[in-house]
Structure 1
């Protein structure tokens, strides 16, 4: 796999993660607007870990 192909695969993977994140945030906003409780922090932490953005030591 060439470097440009690797970049393209990476871009696709990142785009998919961004779409998932946007959907999750929209769902959370919708739940808050309806008066429901948002997802527990552990679910959000797991999503951050899956995306490689976990900032815990």
Structure 2
């Protein structure tokens, strides 16, 4: 019944270290994905020639 008291408490934020690791992981995944895509494009164009 007392929902206002529960909503007054701020949500617990993750530790800054955890945030840094998450963003680094995202960046690494994106970089790897881009590298794979570039490599696939390069092999595809070489095979077409």
TM-score (norm 2): 0.68
Larger helix percent: 2
Rg (Cα) greater in structure: 2
Q: Which runs of 5+ in 1 are unaligned?
A: 37-57
Alpha-carbon RMSD: 1.2
Q: Which runs of 5+ in 2 are unaligned?
A: 1-13
After the TM superposition, list the runs of 4 or more consecutive aligned residues in structure 1 that deviate by more than 6 angstroms: none
TM-score (norm 1): 0.59
